[in-house]
Chain A
Amino acid sequence: MSPLSSDTTTDSPIAELPGDALRQRAVDELRSALGDGLIDSLIKPGDDVWVRVALTSWREAGAVLRDKLGMDYFCFLSAIDWMPSPYGRGEDAPDVVIERSTEIKQGYTGGETRFQVFARVASTHLHYGITIKADVPDDDLVVPSWIPNYAGANWHERECHEMFGIGFGGHPNLINMYLPTGFEGHPMRKDFPLLARMVKPWPGIVDVEPLPGDDGPSSENLEADNPDSINNAAGES
């Protein structure tokens, strides 16, 4: 039974290091704990730190973050689908065929697969956080669950599962969070179309009813022609 108020004192020597040194120390700790599991890292000076780990070290990395680096606060866990959307931004007329690049290019700390699962945790004592990513193999979309590390991962993994179709091994109750039971498809994947845009592309292709007194619809970018718009007044660049 947990006590009513636990006292936590982390007398870790990391507490004295400022900013970037703190982040570098975190990356070094992870490397020494995970070894080859830590694939890549990126520290943006004065800003933030990203690391990418192998999927086999995903759960262990969470434990290291929680125990050794003092990251007691669980922020969120989700996934990114790096495939560019075949539908663009839903602004094209339905009969026009547009060639779009299908190249999958990942972001910070690279990656090899289409899906990446990522999480963020923070330390309430040292006042910094870390974003951790892992590749999810395309043929076997299963990720070990983070529930043993942070209890809050329960709901985040449920949402990630229903939105991306990524399974979480060891999750006690992987049912849909937002969508009705038996919903087919995984909405956040890029190849799942946004139905509203399929039905009616936006904007400019559709007929815009003219205002009374106007002489015709304008399907141009109205903001570009409006001299009062703040973006026009601020000057060109």
Chain B
Amino acid sequence: MLAVTIPYWGQTLLRVLGGIVAVLLPAGTIVYLFLFKMMSFMQSRLGPMEAGPYGSMQLFAEVGKWLQKEDIVPGRADKYIFRAAPLIVLVSTFLLVVVVPFGPDAYFTNFEIGVFYMLAVSSISTLGILIAGWSSANKYSLLGGLRAAGQLIAYELPMVLAVVGVVIQAGTMNLQDIVLKQNGGEIFGLDWIGNPYILTQFIGFAVFMIAVQAELTQVPFDMPIAESELVSGYMTEYSGFRFLIFFIAEFATAGIFSLIASALFLGGWGVPFAWFGWDNVGDISNWMNIVGPLIMFSKMMLLSFVIMWVRFTYPRFREDQLQRFAWKVLIPVSLVNIMVTAILKVAF
């Protein structure tokens, strides 16, 4: 490992800094690359070009703009809850990143029940959104918050069920072990692909990505925001720093969910061990701790690309159609997926 022994407070500091980078860097990259540039190119326009070369400093300009705005709290709003709501949403993002493994030794924590923890804390943002809508003293926000409550809770279930299939196949809830099993395993006797669970759990992967799209309230599931109807839904009354927190939280959570999806389905930070002749964790060379995060980053970009691409293309569902889709389509499909996985796991 490292040549020096770092005291415990040093390790904590490193973890905190690493956490902030792990949350903000994906958010920033997704915002610039996909929201500003890719969306613009898809719409036959150039996007921001003024701030920095090819508009690369636009993100800092936007952050600066939001930070210098006045912090308005509506007169009849419930002040403490109104102020707290964005922070709750952001906190859940930071809590999520804690279980994501970035390398053989580069992880924040190594929970045995990592998957369970991840699914549990991802629901905290629902609470934040609901109280943001309720405390805003604005009918549009109220409508947005209520829609969000229904939608986010409805799409929790397909997400959980999709992940259960992976857990059954891996036999463990520890995210690090899931990654190791994918890279160390083999499929159909070919060990140069490893065993990325997307190949066997393709249904689970599709359900998971759809559920993630809904959890992030992205189009086609963005009824809570529904820009052409509710102006901004639960975020209508927020401005300045608080809106910036919502904005960052939205894209950071997109990045984190992509990281988790790549850990669960795409093989995480690793490449198939057969390429280097490794057999278990101890064999892995140390440079993997540096290359691992880069591989994770690129897989995250791939999945966020898909999320954003769908966002810019499709119209949005109506609330009842959305609910019908979750309860009548996604949940039965994922239940069937679990059954089949369980049967096949026992059989083979």
A touches B in complex, CB < 8 A: no
